[in-house]
Amino acid sequence: MPAIFDPEADILSGDTADVYFIRAQEILRQEDLNPVVTMEVFTSREGLLCGMEEVLALLRRVLPSESHVWALREGDTMTAKEVVLRITGPYGAFGLYETAFLGMLAHQSGWATAARECVHASGGIPIISFGARHVHPRVAAQLEYAALVGGFAGCATPAGARLGDVSPTGTIPHAMILIFGDTVEAIRAFDRHISPQVNRVALVDTFKDEAEESLRVAAALGDRLWGVRLDTPGERGRVTPDLVKEVRARLDQAGYDHVKIVVSGGMDAERIRLFVERGSPVDAFGVGSAVSSAPPIDFTGDIKAIEGKPVAKRGRIPGITENQRLRKIDLSPD
Amino acid sequence: MPAIFDPEADILSGDTADVYFIRAQEILRQEDLNPVVTMEVFTSREGLLCGMEEVLALLRRVLPSESHVWALREGDTMTAKEVVLRITGPYGAFGLYETAFLGMLAHQSGWATAARECVHASGGIPIISFGARHVHPRVAAQLEYAALVGGFAGCATPAGARLGDVSPTGTIPHAMILIFGDTVEAIRAFDRHISPQVNRVALVDTFKDEAEESLRVAAALGDRLWGVRLDTPGERGRVTPDLVKEVRARLDQAGYDHVKIVVSGGMDAERIRLFVERGSPVDAFGVGSAVSSAPPIDFTGDIKAIEGKPVAKRGRIPGITENQRLRKIDLSPD
Amino acid sequence: MPAIFDPEADILSGDTADVYFIRAQEILRQEDLNPVVTMEVFTSREGLLCGMEEVLALLRRVLPSESHVWALREGDTMTAKEVVLRITGPYGAFGLYETAFLGMLAHQSGWATAARECVHASGGIPIISFGARHVHPRVAAQLEYAALVGGFAGCATPAGARLGDVSPTGTIPHAMILIFGDTVEAIRAFDRHISPQVNRVALVDTFKDEAEESLRVAAALGDRLWGVRLDTPGERGRVTPDLVKEVRARLDQAGYDHVKIVVSGGMDAERIRLFVERGSPVDAFGVGSAVSSAPPIDFTGDIKAIEGKPVAKRGRIPGITENQRLRKIDLSPD
Amino acid sequence: MPAIFDPEADILSGDTADVYFIRAQEILRQEDLNPVVTMEVFTSREGLLCGMEEVLALLRRVLPSESHVWALREGDTMTAKEVVLRITGPYGAFGLYETAFLGMLAHQSGWATAARECVHASGGIPIISFGARHVHPRVAAQLEYAALVGGFAGCATPAGARLGDVSPTGTIPHAMILIFGDTVEAIRAFDRHISPQVNRVALVDTFKDEAEESLRVAAALGDRLWGVRLDTPGERGRVTPDLVKEVRARLDQAGYDHVKIVVSGGMDAERIRLFVERGSPVDAFGVGSAVSSAPPIDFTGDIKAIEGKPVAKRGRIPGITENQRLRKIDLSPD
Amino acid sequence: MPAIFDPEADILSGDTADVYFIRAQEILRQEDLNPVVTMEVFTSREGLLCGMEEVLALLRRVLPSESHVWALREGDTMTAKEVVLRITGPYGAFGLYETAFLGMLAHQSGWATAARECVHASGGIPIISFGARHVHPRVAAQLEYAALVGGFAGCATPAGARLGDVSPTGTIPHAMILIFGDTVEAIRAFDRHISPQVNRVALVDTFKDEAEESLRVAAALGDRLWGVRLDTPGERGRVTPDLVKEVRARLDQAGYDHVKIVVSGGMDAERIRLFVERGSPVDAFGVGSAVSSAPPIDFTGDIKAIEGKPVAKRGRIPGITENQRLRKIDLSPD
Amino acid sequence: MPAIFDPEADILSGDTADVYFIRAQEILRQEDLNPVVTMEVFTSREGLLCGMEEVLALLRRVLPSESHVWALREGDTMTAKEVVLRITGPYGAFGLYETAFLGMLAHQSGWATAARECVHASGGIPIISFGARHVHPRVAAQLEYAALVGGFAGCATPAGARLGDVSPTGTIPHAMILIFGDTVEAIRAFDRHISPQVNRVALVDTFKDEAEESLRVAAALGDRLWGVRLDTPGERGRVTPDLVKEVRARLDQAGYDHVKIVVSGGMDAERIRLFVERGSPVDAFGVGSAVSSAPPIDFTGDIKAIEGKPVAKRGRIPGITENQRLRKIDLSPD
C-alpha cells in the first residue's frame, strides 16, 4: 500500500508542538547539551498500528544520518504497552517533534483499530468508509487512509483514496434526488453524465418505500444498474436485516438478480454482526461514525538511554526494552 | 474570543469532499440545474457548539452575496436535534462543502463538549489543555481551540494558543530533566534561559519522591518558583488527592506557601470531581485524553426547501424548522 | 357500566372445578355436614379488580337467600393481600365454585390492571383494545371487557363491545387491501358499502410508504376520511414517534388537518409513554399484546369462620379481616 | 392423545371476531370478490405448538372441500417465525375466523410451552396441573389440556382431564379439613366415601407441623394411604427441599416407606430445578401459576398468494414460505 | 457503663505483639534512644468506637506519669480517617503495645458498629446478643460488651454481662427440650428450679408447629410465662413476619395477651428492618452472626512528632492533627 | 504441626457460655436427668476446618472415659453442612461447653479459610501473617495459628509462632525509622544489635522514593541485606505490580540480585492474583486484613440421639449422619 506523506511547515516549525518541547530545545542549546538519546514509544493498549509511514517520513526529514530507528510496520497489530518505535539520535534533532509523531500514531491507530473491528464483524462482506463528514476536513484523508489500513475496501473522498491508492466510491446524495424530484430521474441523469467506469448505485429511500423504489430504478436502468443503497433514517426505523431480505426477494422475483444491495446508516461492528448472523443478503456496508468516533490510542515516548547509559524516569525501567518484532528502518529518503 | 480561520486549498477544491457531492455538482451543471435551496444542519445530540466560526469563514468565501445564513454562536449550548445552521443559496455554490462544514462542527463540538464537562467538574479551578499529542498535528490547534471554547484557561501549543488568543503554557518535559540528570539542575537552567514572563513550574516526579523533590526545587528557586507539577505515572499509583494534600502541607510547613500545585496524568471529569470533593488543594489541572478522546458530535445537513417550496426526504419534515435562537449572519468579509 | 353475565352449564355443573372440591362436596353430604362458613377471598398483589360482576352473578344463582356477601366494586383498585370478597353461607352451596370465581377474578383483574397501566401512560389519548387474537376466543369478550374496565375507550369484537356497552371499532384488515391490490381502492369500497355511522380509517402501511399512502387516501376520500392507521411491522422498524410527526406534518401541509392518526403494532405502556414524552401527535392507540400477555392476578379463598367461630389454616389469622372498603351486596336477582 | 373439539356458536357467528374482519367479508361480498388465497400463520417466538387440533376442527367446519391445509402437529416444537399453518381456500370461507384460530393457538401454545419448561426441570418426576383457579373457567379445560400436551402427567378438573383423556387428580381442600377440624378425621371420611380407585392423598399442613401430621395420617390409614401433600404457605416459609427430606426420613424411620410426597405451592421451573438439584425426594409436583401466568405466544396470519400469484404486505416476502415440517391435513370430518 | 478491664500477662510481656516492635525496643535501648514521641491512632472508616476503655486501662499501666493522652469516648461515632487517640510519651514505654491497642479497638469497634446498625433498624425494639458461639471463647465477653456499647439491651453470657453491667439473658436450649421430650415438660421444669427473677421464655419450635406450641406453653404456665421464642430453622423457612403476626393473633384470641414474642435465627439489620416495616409484632430480637461476622475496623498508629518536631512517613502529613472532639484523659489509676 | 492448647479457667467455669446452657445443666441436675446423648456439629458452609485441636483438648478435659468422639482433622476441607464432630457421652459432662467449642471452630475456621484463599492465589510465593493488629490481643495467637493452618509460611507474633511451631517474622516498624531519621541508619542499627539468625529486611517507603531507598540500603548493607519491604500507603497509590518490577530492575542493574522483595499493604487474594498474573517479581507477601476480616464460619450443634434412640428438633433429620471422613479420636491425654 504505497502512501506518500510529506510533513507540513507548521509541524516542522514546531508551531503545533507542546511549548515545553520548544523551550527545552532552547535551554539545551543555550547549555550546549545535545546528547545522543534513545527514545522508545509504546502504546497504551492493544490495537492496529497506523500512522507509522507518516511518522517515518517526518523522521527522515529531521534525523541526521548517523541516527537509528526501529519500528513495527504500518498495519501491524500491537499488544498493550508494546514498544512500536525506537529512535537513537541527537535529542536536539527530534525532541521537538514528540507531540507530532505521538499524535499521528494516536489518531490514525484509533481509527484503524475501529475499522478492523468492523471488518472482523462483516465476515468478508466489503465495507466502504463514509466517515469524512464526522471529522475535521484537515484529517479527512487520514481517517479514510486509516480505515483502508484497517481493511476497508474503499472510501469516499478523493484525498483519502489517493493516500490509500484506490478510487473513491459514492452513490448519489439525497440533496440531488430532492432537486430532481424523483429518484428515477436522478439516477438517469447520473447515468447520462458520469463515466461508465463508475458503478451506478441508486439511493432508494428518499421519496418512496425502499422496495417499491428499488423496483422502479431497476426497471429504468436495467443491466446498467450496479446496485441500490438503503440508508433508511432512524425516524423510519433504520435499515433492518429483514428489509434487505425483502428487497432482495422482490428484486429477484422481478428478475433483477444482478442488482446489488449496499447498506448504510449507523452501521457499527455490533450491527454489522447482527446482519451477518441473520443471514441478511448485504453486498456492501457503508460505515462512518463507527470509525470516526473511535478514541485515539494514546502513545507515550520515554527516554531510556543517554549516551548509551540506561536511564528512566520514576515508574519506568531504565534501558532498552526487548522487542524482536521491531525492524530496523532505512532512513535514506524514499 | 477573536479567531481567524482561513479555508485551505484542498478543502476549497473538494479534494476532501465525499465524491458523490463532486459528481452531483457535475451532473447538475450538465443538466443546467442550480436552484436556490435551503439546507438546515442539525446536531445528533446535545453539547457545546464549536467550529461555527471556521464554517462561516468558509461560507463567506463560497456563497454569492444574495445568499442568507442563520446560525448559533460559537460556544452556544445546543439541544439534541437542534438546527444550528441554515443556509439559503444556490446549491451549486455550497453543496460541495457539506462534508467539510459538517466535519468542522463535528470534531470541534465533540472536543468542546468534553472540555466543558471537565470545567463543570473543576468548580473554578483552572484547566490547561495538554491533549495535542493525542491527535493528528494537522488538527492539534483545532483541538486546543475547542478546549478553550469549552472553558479551559490555557493550552500547550503555540498554534492552538494563537487561535484562542492566549499564551501557550508549559513546564519542563521529563526528557530534559533526564538529560540534566537532576530536577533542580533542570529548573535552574530553565530559570537562567527562559524569559521571566514565563512562569517557573517544576515537574517533580522524575527522580525522587514528589514531596522531597518539591522541597528541593522550592529551596533552589525560592520566590521565583511559581509552582510544581505532579504527574506521577500509573505504575506509581498516579497522583492522588492525598498526595496533593501532603505536598501542600510539607511546602507550607517549610515556608513555601507561594508555590502552586499543578496536577496532571489521566485527569478526566470524574477524577477532577474526586479531587474537588476530597478538598485536595490543587491550583490547576492539566487535561489531555479526556478531551482528545471525545467522539465527534455528528451533524446532518438536510435540504428543506427548493426555490421556496418545502421538501424533505422520507423521515424528515418538509420546510424550515423554527428556531428563535438562530441569528442572521453578516456574510460580508470579516 | 352495565354488564350482563350468565354462568354457563359446565361451570354450574362443576365440570371445570378442581375435582377435590367435587369430592369434598360428596363427602360432606355423606357425613351430613353443611356448616355455615365465612370465606374470604384476597388478592396476591395490587391491581385493578375485574370480574366481580360475573362472580356476583354466579353467587346470586347458587347462594340461598340467608347468605351474606361483601365485596369491592368492579374497577376498584386493590392493595396487595386485600380481601376483596367475603361470603357467609352454607358451605355446601358455594364450595364447589371456588375454582370458578377465583379464576374469573384472576384472569380479568390481570387484564384490567395491564390496561390501566397503558391508560396511565397515554395521558388522555384514547386506547382501543386489539388483543382478541391473542387469547382463546372463549374469553375474547372477557379480555375486551376487562380492557374497558381498565379505562380503554373501545374494543374490536362485537362480543366484547356488548359486555362493555360500546360499539366495536375497526379499520380494514391487510388481507382485504391485498385482495383489492391498492389501498385507495380498498378504502373506497369500504366507503361505498359500510354504514356512514362507522368511521373511515385507512390502514396505510400495506403497499407504499406510509406518508405517501396517507396523502393518497386523504385525496381520495377528502372530508369523509376520519383517519389513517399506522401499523408498520417490525421488519420495517415499527411505527416511531418521528414517523407520526412526519405524517402529521405532511397531511397538514397538504390541507388534511382533519385526518386523525391511529398507531398500533407492539404498543405497550412503556412505548406509549415514549410517544407521549416525545410529543408525537397520536390521536388513538391500538393495544393488543400488552393486555393479553398480562399474567392473571392470583386470588386465594380462605375459610375464616365456621358457624361463627374463628378458624384458619396454619399461616393465616383466624376470623374475619377488617376491611371498611367492602360493601354489602344485594343478593336478589339483578 | 385423542381430543375432541367442537367450535361454539359465537365463534362460528363471528361474534368474537375483530369487527374489521366482519366488515371485510361484507364489502368483498358486495364487490363480488372471493378469490382463492393462501394464508400463512407464523409464530412470534419459539415454543411448543398447542391448539392446532381445535383450529383444524374449526377449519373442517368452514372450509369447502377443494381447500388445502398444511400444519405442524399438536405438541410439535416450533422455532421463532416458523410457519405452522398454511391455508389455501376461498377467502370468504375462512377470513372471518382469523381472530379465533390465532387466539386458540396463542393462548394454548403459551401454556403448553410453560408446562414443558417445568417438565424439563423436573427430570422425570411427574407434575400435576393445579392452575384452573387462575384462569377464567371458560378456558380452564383448555389450560389443563395444554399442560398435558406440554408433558404434565395429570390435571385437576374433569373438563380438562376429558380433553386430555386422563382421570382428574386431587387431594382434599383445606376447607374440608377445617370443617372436620382435624386432618385425620378428614382423611378418614375421604377413605370411607370415595371410590377405592381414587388415591388417598392427605394434605398435611392445615393444623399441625407437617412432619407430625404426616405420621398421624400414616398411622390412621396405614397401607391405604397413597401419599401426603405439602402445601406450606409463604407465611410459613413455603415448602423447602429440606422439609421434604425430613418428612421422608421421619416417615421411613416410622416404617411408612410406601407413603409418597406431593409438593405444591408456588412451584415453577426454577423452583422445581432447585428441589431436583438438592436431591429432595419428591414423588410429584403440583404446578399452577407457573403455567397459567405464561403469556400467550402471538401468531400472525399473512396473505401470501392470491389466485396463485405471490403477494405480501410491506415487510413480508411475497409467496409461499418453504417448510418441510408442514404436513398435508385431511379435511374430511374426524 | 462502668467496665473494668485488666491487661493480661501475655499482652504486657509483648508475647502477642508483632515481633518487629519487640526488636525495635531492643535496638533503641541498645542505641540509648528513647525520645518523647506523639503517636496518633486513626480509624480506616466510619463507625462506632469501642475498646477505648480497655486501651486506656493498658496505657495507665505502662505510661509514665508525665505522658499525655487524648481520646474519644467509648461509644462515640467516628468519621473515616478520624484520629481517635493521641499519645505523647517516651516511645520506649508504649511502642511495644501498638499491636495490642490497635487490635482492641479494631475487633470491638467492628462488632459495636454492626450492633448499632441492627439497633437503628429495630426502631426501639430491644435486641439481645446471641453471638458468643460464633467467636473464640477468649473474646466472647468482649463481643457481647461491644454489642451492649452498640445499643443492645442484653446479652447471653455471664462474662459479657459482667463487662456491660447487666444480667445475662437466655431461654431454654433445644437440647434440654429434646431430653425432656416435650416443650411443656421442659418449661415446667425450668419454672420449678430457676429463680423467679429470671423470665420464663419458652422456645416453641422444637417439636410442634410454633403456633400450636405457643398455646400449649401459655396454657401450662399461665401468667408466669413471660414469652415465647421463635427460632424456626432455615429448613423450615425461618421465622417470617407473618408467622409472628399469626402467633400473636392466636395467643391474643386465646386470652394470652401478656405473652411476649422473641424472634431469633439469622436476624440481621436488613431482616430486622423487614419485620419492622411489615409491622410484625416482635417484642425482642436475638441477634448473633450479624454482629460476630462484622469485620474488624482497622486502625493505624502514626508517629507525628518526635521531641516536639513534626514528622511523618511518606503519605502522611507531619505534626498533630486537629480534632476538637478529643478529650484529655486522666492517667491516674481508675 | 504440633500445637498445645490448654482450656482456660473462665471457659471451664462456663463463664463465657450462653447462660441457658448453665441453667439447663442446673435443671437437669435437679431433675436427676443425665442421659447419654449424641451431639453432631456441622458447618454452615464450605471451608477449611481449624480449631479442632483446641476443641479436642477441651473435650479430653471434660468427657468421662466411656465417651466417644469422632472428628475431621485440623486443616481438613469441609463441604457445606458437613458433620465435622460427633460426641457421644453424658450430656451433663459437655453440654455446658457448646458455646465454647462452636466458637473455637467458628473463628479459627473463618481465618484459616481466608488464608487458604490467599495461598491459592499466590501460586507458591510464601505469605506471612501480619494481621495481629486487627484482632483483639487475646486471640492474636489463634489468628496467626489459623493462618499457618491455612498455608501461610510465617507469622509476626511470638505467641502465634509458638502455636504453629515456627519462628516469628518481622522487619522494622516505620516508627523506628522515623526515630532514627533515616532508613539507612535504622537498618544499620538493626544489623548491629539483632542476632545474625534474623534476616535483615529494610522497609523502604518511609522517607524517599522506594527505588531510590532500595538502592541506598543495598549499598549500605551489601550481602548482609536479605531483602526490602514495600508497604507504600494508599495515599501514595499503594504498591503496584509495576513498582516491584521497577525496583527489581534497578536493584539488578546495580548488581543487587540477591536482595529479595517483600510486598505488603492491603494485600488480599484478588490483589495477590493480580501481582502473580502480571508477573510481578515478588518474593513474599505480607497479609493482614484479608485474614483478620474474614467472617467466622458458623457451626451448629444438634442432639441426634438420646440413649441410642434417634431424635431431632424440627427441621433436622433424627439419628446419626453418615460421614466416612470422620475418624475416631483417642480421648486419653495427649
DSSP secondary structure string for all residues of F37-97: EEEEEEESS-EE--SHHHHHHHHHHHS-TT-EEEEPPTT-EE-TT-EEEEEEEEHHHHGGG
Average pLDDT over residues F128-157: 97
Dihedral-angle region of residue B319 (phi above 0 means left; psi in -120 to 50 means alpha; beta otherwise): left
> D105: which chain C residues are within 8 Å (Cβ-Cβ)?
none
**pLDDT of residue D223 exceeding 70:** yes
Q: Which helix (H) or strand (E) holds D185?
A: helix D183-193
> E243: which chain D residues are within 8 Å (Cβ-Cβ)?
235-237
Q: Determine the pLDDT at residue F2.
A: 42
Q: Do the Cβ atoms of C318 and E245 come within 8 Å?
A: no
Residue B4: burial class (beta carbons within 10 Å; 0-12, 13-18, 19+): exposed
Write out pLDDT tens, residues E251-273: 999 999 999 999 999 999 999 99
> F253: which chain A residues are within 8 Å (Cβ-Cβ)?
310, 318-319
Smallest Cβ distance to C179: which of D198, D289, D306?
D306
Mutation target among F104, F166, F179, F183 for the E interface, most CBs of E within 10 A: F179
Average pLDDT over residues D59-86: 97
Smallest Cβ distance to A237: which of C208, C209, C237?
C237
Q: Determine the pLDDT at residue B334.
A: 56
- In this structure, of B10-14, D130-134, F151-155, the range with the lowest mean pLDDT score is B10-14
Q: Distance between CA atoms of B90 and B88, rounded to whole angstroms? A: 7
Write out pLDDT tens, residues F301-316: 999 999 999 999 999 9
**pLDDT of residue F1 exceeding 60:** no
Q: Determine the pLDDT at residue E2.
A: 42
**pLDDT of residue A56 exceeding 60:** yes
B and A make contact (3+ CB pairs below 8 Å): yes
**pLDDT of residue F239 exceeding 80:** yes
Write out pLDDT tens, residues D37-46: 999 999 999 9
Average pLDDT over residues F62-70: 96
Q: Do the Cβ atoms of C317 and E245 come within 8 Å?
A: yes
Give this complex's ipTM: 0.96
Smallest Cβ distance to E236: which of D207, D208, D243?
D243
Q: Which of C17, C35, C20, C38 is nearest to C83 (CA)?
A: C38
**How do the pLDDT tens digits run along chain E, 334 residues long?**
344 788 888 899 999 999 999 999 999 999 999 999 999 999 999 999 999 999 999 999 999 999 999 999 999 999 999 999 999 999 999 999 999 999 999 999 999 999 999 999 999 999 999 999 999 999 999 999 999 999 999 999 999 999 999 999 988 999 999 999 999 999 999 999 999 999 999 999 999 999 999 999 999 999 999 999 999 999 999 999 999 999 999 999 999 999 999 999 999 999 999 999 999 999 999 999 999 999 999 999 999 999 999 999 999 999 999 999 999 999 886 5
Give the count of beta carbons closer than 10 Å to the beta carbon of residue A310: 15
Q: Which one-letter amino acid corresponds to residue D194?
A: I
Q: Determine the pLDDT at residue F334.
A: 56
The mean of the pLDDT values for chain A is 96
Q: Which residue of D has its CA nearest to A212?
A: D314
Instruction: Give per-10-residue mean pLDDT for chain B (334 aa).
Output: 71 93 96 97 98 96 96 98 98 97 98 98 97 97 98 97 94 94 97 96 96 98 97 94 97 97 97 97 98 98 97 96 97 74
Q: Determine the pLDDT at residue A3.
A: 47
CA angle C134, C137, C138 (to 5 degrees): 130
Average pLDDT over residues F183-203: 96
Task: For chain C, list residues whose CB is within 8 angstroms of any CB belonging to chain B.
Answer: 209, 211, 242-243, 245-246, 249-250, 253
Q: Determine the pLDDT at residue C332.
A: 83
Write out pLDDT tens, residues C275-305: 999 999 999 999 999 999 999 999 999 999 9
Q: Determine the pLDDT at residue F279.
A: 97
> A201: which chain B residues are within 8 Å (Cβ-Cβ)?
none
Q: Do the Cβ atoms of A178 and B306 come within 8 Å?
A: yes
**pLDDT of residue A4 exceeding 80:** no
Q: How many CA atoms lie within 13 A of A86 on its CB side?
A: 17
What is the rounded (10 degree) CA torsion for F44, F49, F50, F51?
A: 60
F309-310 and F299-306 as β-strands: parallel, antiparallel, unpaired?
antiparallel
CB C104 within 8 A of CB C110: no
Q: Do the Cβ atoms of A314 and F209 come within 8 Å?
A: yes
Give the count of beta carbons closer than 10 Å to the beta carbon of residue E270: 11
D154-155 and D201-203 as β-strands: parallel, antiparallel, unpaired?
unpaired
Q: Decide: helix, strand or coil at residue F171.
A: coil
Q: Do the Cβ atoms of F234 and B240 come within 8 Å?
A: yes
Mutation target among A210, A247, A253 for the D interface, most CBs of D within 10 A: A253
- Alpha-carbon distances of A180 from A159, B34, B63, B167, D181, rounded to whole Å: 28, 11, 22, 52, 90
Average pLDDT over residues F10-25: 93
Q: Do the Cβ atoms of F103 and E134 come within 8 Å?
A: yes
E and A make contact (3+ CB pairs below 8 Å): no
**pLDDT of residue D119 exceeding 50:** yes
Q: Determine the pLDDT at residue A171.
A: 85
- In this structure, of A82-91, B5-14, D129-138, the range with the lowest mean pLDDT score is B5-14
pLDDT-derived band of residue D9, with 50, 70 and 90 as boundaries? confident
What string of H, E and C letters represents the secondary structure of chain C? CCCCCCCCHHHHCCCCCCHHHHHHHHHHHHCCCCCEEEEEEEECCCEECCCHHHHHHHHHHHCCCCCEEEECCCCCEECCCCEEEEEEEEHHHHHHHHHHHHHHHHHHHHHHHHHHHHHHHHCCCCEEECCHHHCCHHHHHHHHHHHHHCCCCEECCHHHHHHHCCCECCCCCHHHHHHHCCHHHHHHHHHHHCCCCCCCEEECCCCCCHHHHHHHHHHHHHHHCCEEEECCCHHHCCCCHHHHHHHHHHHHHCCCCCCEEEECCCCCHHHHHHHHHCCCCCCEEEECHHHHCCCCCCEEEEEEEECCEECCCCCCCCCCCCCCCCEECCCCCC
> B293: which chain A residues are within 8 Å (Cβ-Cβ)?
295-296, 298
Residue found by looking up cell 390435571 in the block: D155
Q: Which one-letter amino acid corresponds to residue A248?
A: R
Mutation target among C208, C215, C250 for the B interface, most CBs of B within 10 A: C250
> F207: which chain E residues are within 8 Å (Cβ-Cβ)?
313-314
> F318: which chain D residues are within 8 Å (Cβ-Cβ)?
249-250, 253
